[in-house]
Amino acid sequence: MAGPAARALAWEDAHATERMKFELLLNSGRGDSTHHLEVEPLTELSLPQGRVKFLLGDQAGEADWAELERGKYSILIDGRAYLVRVLANRLEGSKAQAYNVSAGANKFLVAIRDPRRRRTSGSQADKHGPREILAPMPGKIVRLLISENQEVRQNQGLLVIEAMKMQNELKASRSGRVEEIYVAEGQGVETGAKLIRLS
């Protein structure tokens, strides 16, 4: 039987052009960790059950799932059954998704980032006219790196936000002028909260 590395390489080859990639930020109460998840595109999201192939880090696998009721799932992975409850924890229109997840006695806060959204966040509409920079997830403003009326260049750091004990620097998607700063250092923010307005 092929080992985990061989199965991962075979999965990479078979799904190279079609897989969806995500970054998972996981807080279990005992610490934080980051994981890279790749899955086959889910075409039948409306179905109450299904099977999905995935690559978590370098571990390839398959999961059979069934939605028992809203937010409650039965998941079978490698012959082991899990009862999982998922509660969405985000604001509409935000660019990140956060969930409270429980599996048995284990509880997690899981934030999901889609790298494609970060790449496309500087869309054509963003290049012309004012742009609001929103909080990608709940957190605390650790440091402001700019001031109002300051000119900034593309990829320049704007502020540092701490989420799940990890500090993330938010950068400008394009050059512009800082019209308004909506937050202060030490302030807590929710997902989707306005942080900075760029002209």
For the segment 17-53, what is each residue's pLDDT rounded down to a tens digit?
457 788 887 777 676 778 888 887 655 555 678 888 8
Strands 20-27 vs 106-113: parallel, antiparallel or unpaired: antiparallel
- CB–CB of 73/66 below 8 Å? yes
Whether the pLDDT of residue 100 is over 50: the answer is yes
State the CATH number of the domain containing residue 44: 2.40.128
Return the pLDDT at 127.
53
Highest mean pLDDT range out of 34-48, 79-93, 116-130, 156-170? Answer: 156-170
- The pTM (predicted TM-score) of the whole model is 0.48
Domain boundary among 70, 87, 113: 113
Q: Which domain holds residue 160?
A: 122-198
The total domain count for the chain is 2
In whole angstroms, what is the distance from residue 46 CA to residue 61 CA? 22
Instruction: Report residue 99 as tokens.
Output: 């969930």
Domain boundary among 113, 139, 167: 113
- Same domain? For 190 and 160 the reply is yes
Task: Tell me the average pLDDT of the chain.
Answer: 77
